[in-house]
A and B are shown apart, each in its own frame.
Chain A
């Protein structure tokens, strides 16, 4: 008898719509929808997608707990043996949703779960410890690579077959340690590794150290009345016409925009270049993304000394971490050189 699998996808892959439908509430449909067809092919006769849960990315991201609870209730009647979500590639909200729902299903229903994401998807760091995430390419062009790997891993879990190392199975390392017997003593293995390292030869550690990528908080601003505050955003606010042509996704640059004499961002002057959220509200009034009007008032009232006369903007939508880090470092240097005291960074 085939195993019963429930599949989770977002509104986009269900063919319901793009950002304008990202508030779509959770629903469940019997059988296969969208990328489920590829899973059906990969499972062959071993497993069957009995139902597909669909939820809008923004709805999930804005209502994590409520959405999770609703989806669990939708899934239960289908009595699944396993659960699969995505693949979400490098879509941040979708990846977060896939990760959160996989974690909840695994904990509450106690069945095998698998999702698939690009390593830089924020959902990876948030949920890689809770379940197996197959490493995928960064866009849906990688669907044909992602689905067979996800299906194969899920089948192994269902059949309770032993799993190999992350690189063998294609999943993202979870930081789980397994005991294992070696012929050589630890001391010998350690010396072997050390010698290999000295010789510049490859060697594989048995216990990776975690990477702590944290920056310590800066001291608080002591004297706000004399502070110069700058605005930076990943929400893509740009002068109308997008003069620097910042890309709607996977941005390769940021813009620096002079707001001397601008007290309020009007729809005549400003827009968002961001392609990852419904632009209606930001285009109507860009103050909804960067609070220029309010900071101007505060400047007049003397709450702050000055709103910095330039703001910096990029599009945070599938943007590579390396690019984003470079933007941040460059912007920080410019702000320091301009005598800025502190920064308000807004994200959509």
Chain B
């Protein structure tokens, strides 16, 4: 799915199992929290969770704005 979209539009893959994403051929990858809740963390408060999701989404936008020539994983600091 991802590669077919990348043929037409820039796409960032937000996922937890980065090795699979690399094998599948995603070019811009942002590692996420966990398989059942990639963009959340139920152990935190709703506000903390949203802040976490915000920072991951900001990382995704940063990835989309970064010129790359090969597969790149954009790790959270």
Q: Which residues of A contact B (CB under 8 A)?
A: 19, 22, 58, 61-62, 64, 92-93, 96, 122, 125-126, 213-222, 224, 227, 229, 232, 234-235, 277-282, 284-285, 287-291, 293-295, 297-298, 303-304, 314, 316, 324-329, 331-333, 335-336, 340-348
Contacts and interface: CB of A to CB of B under 8 A. Distances in A.
B39 A288 contact: yes
Given A279-B36, A282-B37, A290-B39, A218 B6 contact: yes
A254 to B, nearest CB: 8
16 contacts: A64-B19, A217-B6, A217-B69, A218-B27, A220-B67, A285-B40, A285-B46, A290-B39, A295-B57, A324-B1, A325-B4, A335-B9, A343-B10, A344-B64, A345-B5, A348-B16
B50 A332 contact: no
A336 B8 contact: yes
B25 to A, nearest CB: 5
A314 B39 CA distance: 17
Interface in B39-77: 39-40, 42, 46, 49-50, 53-54, 56-57, 60-61, 64-70
Contacts of A295: 57
Closest 5 CB pairs of A and B: A328-B4, A288-B40, A328-B1, A218-B10, A217-B27
Contacts of A279: 36
A333 to B, nearest CB: 7
B8 A332 contact: yes
Given A282-B37, A294-B57, A325 B1 contact: yes
A62 B16 CA distance: 7
A332 B57 CA distance: 21
A221 B1 contact: no
Contacts of B4: 325-329, 331-332
Contact of B35 (A126, A219, A277, A345): A277
Contacts of A284: 42
A62 B35 contact: yes
Contacts of B56: 291
Given A218-B11, A219-B67, A341-B9, A281 B42 contact: yes
Contacts of B14: 344-347
Contacts, number: 191
Contacts of A19: 36
Given A221-B64, A303-B61, A294 B1 contact: no
Q: Which of B27, B28, B38 has the most CB of A within 10 A?
A: B38
Contact of A215 (B12, B16, B25, B38): B25
A327 B1 contact: yes
Contacts of B10: 217-221, 341-343
A157 B70 CA distance: 38
Given A62-B34, A289-B39, A290-B39, A333 B20 contact: no
Given A61-B35, A346-B38, 6 more contacts: A96-B20, A216-B27, A287-B39, A288-B42, A328-B5, A343-B10
A68 to B, nearest CB: 12
A328 B2 CA distance: 6
Contact of B53 (A213, A287, A329, A331): A287
A325 B3 contact: yes
